[in-house]
Structure 1
């Protein structure tokens, strides 16, 4: 940075640069900006511990303190908001009678925030008569490390249901769960509403009674490097295989795994040994699994004493539409095909005991079973194709890119998400280049006038 500043001062003293110098420097700036476009915002964000990459196209929305002022959330869009330390905030949904609605809320404490194990968020959906359609709570957990946490609100459309049926206005209610001595600071919030159309045929009305619950051997072989993303919208796609990344204390990495109807997902996270420190961290590494609407499915974690450790998810059932009738999260969560998210967090306390790292992370992912046809939806989901595995997602999982997928408005198919990144980066690159050339022009004119 010092060298760059000195260079600017030299040009200013000498007057307007030559045409050759201007072209060469402009090329350098354009190359840097192009590299930023190709790298993408997710790669930058993932390298910064304690950061969360909100969806690039997230709309700003303010949570209301009363229902009459609640702003409307549109399924298929992603929103950015703020969650106060105390009190409930409200958002509005307009739903039809046939579709099931999901609204995930991801709360992001500020870096270095002091949190307790029970600090968290509560999300519910209520009808116009204050009757609860669903309630869900997510907490920081035993690691007591500030990290993104996600809870899900659901309005399940069911012909035989007694509550929350029919079209009309519904409300998403979000509130902090906070100990009295926890800091009274606001947390950032990302909201991702999704609409699921009804199945063409009703099918079974109960969960499967049995499925293969044996744990297969984790994949072996040479690992491939796959740095994780820093948010749901920028999650790095991976498929079956062995994947390596670096992770730092306080950092959360996001991966997405395409899982088709009828297939089973298995995942193991391994934290490599450390050559420094001799302490002990009780809840050092946490790996959580979320489904395509960011609903919690299962988690696993390990303590750490400097030696290598591993944590594996419990065996999960094959993806089936009728899993939704189960009581257990790890069964009911596997209710549709699409991108499932592996979210890995390394506790901040690791830095105190073993240094700033980075630490080696290995993910072993297996996807078994033959792909089957889905239930056949009588309509289109919002966002589109969120409940299926697209050819683009399969390709991204093989090549290790950021798939144009997810519960946000990043498009599936057609490369729309890639175009959004290029457009955003292109605007930034063009702006920088214009500023640079403009500055040179002004300095040259001033020099000429003098």
Structure 2
């Protein structure tokens, strides 16, 4: 019965996550952001006085007003690195400009920065969608005021250079902690690494719709993945990247009919975030109805010592774990090319060779966030690894299609599964 139970749980999971997305496609309505189901409500303070405490390993839901500058509080030990990511979610129907965004920083009790404040903007898409930025207290930092146990503050700021935003944005806060090493090693980032782009993957694309938030991001490995997107929709994916491995990503937007006319700058945006949800890089595609493709600049292998680098792109490749790809199709596509759906493709390659994990002196919070559990294919991203990833995706896709064709809702699927499970259990009990 153990194997049947696992299958039942898998069907339940598909029913709970796949069907709402399918319904959204059918109505041509972008899926709303999916906050972590265990997110705790918290209200930001307009000053450090009264700032509410955030605990590493927990997730919080808050809001950020148009003129927002909000504070939250951290209580930190003297040796762990602390990260806080804030995901801003403009509500449906709001207007944003290219220079709208958020900035996040961590500060000591004297308001001094513990690391560079990170700012993230909506950019040329000018389309409302979730964006995230992070701040950090790095225990190894030369900023001596930020080395030590005590009270620190997270500052989340609304950026609006055009002065055009009037709407409140929802906010998801994800504080995390990374323990110190048992033994201090090198403190200099690598000066050279393989920055050549590998040959692109050419296998057949496997359908793989994304999740609606960081907490519900769809897993995928090396391979070619595709999905249909509607204007204004955002898909979240997570890719396990172990120590020593390199991640390469190419995003594509498929062609329309020969009579297509128009142009949308920033029609498709693919943003990369590290396991602490720190923003690393973006790639944008301007679209005129013809097939378009853009790749993220090559990133270094995941190494602990990358944190000592000056470049944000290198600095952020400091931990193993799930790296997030957030893909957004601009709402402006509807005005130029109709309601879609539009075909999007991701080509994901994982290069390099897996290395041993650093020897940490404790556990991260949340536990396991900076690890790759059960990661297969540790041979530098071979064809067999891609086949395994694509096979799993194909299986998931088959289940999703079967459920969709059956024409039944998620609740019906769950009731049917649970009813069958109960019947089997009763029969086994009778047999005993």
User: TM-score, structure 1 length as denominator?
Assistant: 0.79
* Aligned mates of 1:181, 1:83 — CA distance in 2: 15
* Aligned mates of 1:354, 1:84 — CA distance in 2: 33
1:76 corresponding residue in structure 2: 57
Range with bigger deviation, 129-138 or 231-240: 129-138
1:359 corresponding residue in structure 2: 342
1:231 corresponding residue in structure 2: 213
Aligned pair count reads 378
Residue 159 of structure 1 and its aligned partner are, at CA, apart by 7.0
Residue 296 of structure 1 and its aligned partner are, at CA, apart by 1.1
Quick check: 2:15–2:414 contact (8 Å CA) kept in 1? no
Residue 142 of structure 1 and its aligned partner are, at CA, apart by 1.2
Counterparts in 2 of 1:304 and 1:391: CA distance versus 1, 3 Å: same
Counterparts in 2 of 1:305 and 1:159: CA distance versus 1, 3 Å: closer
Matched, 1:192 2:188: no
Residue 113 of structure 1 and its aligned partner are, at CA, apart by 1.0
Counterparts in 2 of 1:106 and 1:216: CA distance versus 1, 3 Å: same
CA RMSD for the aligned pairs? 2.7
1:377-392 matched pairs, under 5 angstroms: 377-391=360-374
Residue 39 of structure 1 and its aligned partner are, at CA, apart by 2.1
Quick check: 1:199–1:378 contact (8 Å CA) kept in 2? yes
* Aligned mates of 2:162, 2:299 — CA distance in 1: 37
Counterparts in 2 of 1:219 and 1:94: CA distance versus 1, 3 Å: same
Range with bigger deviation, 152-161 or 38-47: 38-47
Among residues 304, 309, 315, which one is paired with 1:332 in the alignment?
315
SS in 1 for 2:63: strand
Among residues 134, 148, 160, which one is paired with 1:152 in the alignment?
134
Among residues 349, 361, 382, which one is paired with 2:332 in the alignment?
349
Quick check: 2:87–2:132 contact (8 Å CA) kept in 1? yes
Residue 392 of structure 1 and its aligned partner are, at CA, apart by 7.3
Matched, 1:97 2:78: yes
Residue 329 of structure 1 and its aligned partner are, at CA, apart by 1.6
Residue 122 of structure 1 and its aligned partner are, at CA, apart by 1.4
Counterparts in 2 of 1:329 and 1:344: CA distance versus 1, 3 Å: same
Quick check: 1:261–1:373 contact (8 Å CA) kept in 2? yes
1:122 corresponding residue in structure 2: 103
Counterparts in 2 of 1:235 and 1:142: CA distance versus 1, 3 Å: same
2:20 corresponding residue in structure 1: 44
Matched, 1:297 2:273: no
Among residues 223, 228, 233, which one is paired with 1:241 in the alignment?
223
Matched, 1:201 2:183: yes
SS in 1 for 2:227: strand
SS in 2 for 1:364: strand
Residue 324 of structure 1 and its aligned partner are, at CA, apart by 0.6
Residue 87 of structure 1 and its aligned partner are, at CA, apart by 3.5
SS in 1 for 2:144: coil
Counterparts in 2 of 1:155 and 1:45: CA distance versus 1, 3 Å: farther
* Aligned mates of 2:333, 2:12 — CA distance in 1: 31
Q: Which runs of 5+ in 2 are unaligned?
A: 1-9, 378-384, 397-409, 419-432
Quick check: 1:120–1:177 contact (8 Å CA) kept in 2? yes
Matched, 1:257 2:239: yes
Among residues 63, 75, 83, which one is paired with 2:44 in the alignment?
63
List per-residue Cα deviations over 1:336-381 (Å, max 9, x = no partner).
1100011111111000000111100111110012111021111000
Which portions of structure 1, spanning 4 or more consecutive aligned residues, are displaced by more than 4 angstroms? Answer: 34-37, 392-398
Quick check: 1:221–1:242 contact (8 Å CA) kept in 2? yes
* Aligned mates of 1:81, 1:36 — CA distance in 2: 30
* Aligned mates of 1:355, 1:222 — CA distance in 2: 27
Residue 162 of structure 1 and its aligned partner are, at CA, apart by 2.1
Q: Which runs of 5+ in 1 are unaligned?
A: 1-33, 404-424, 434-450
Quick check: 1:114–1:183 contact (8 Å CA) kept in 2? yes
SS in 2 for 1:174: strand
SS in 1 for 2:146: coil
Quick check: 1:42–1:230 contact (8 Å CA) kept in 2? no
Matched, 1:323 2:306: yes
1:21 corresponding residue in structure 2: none
Residue 204 of structure 1 and its aligned partner are, at CA, apart by 1.1
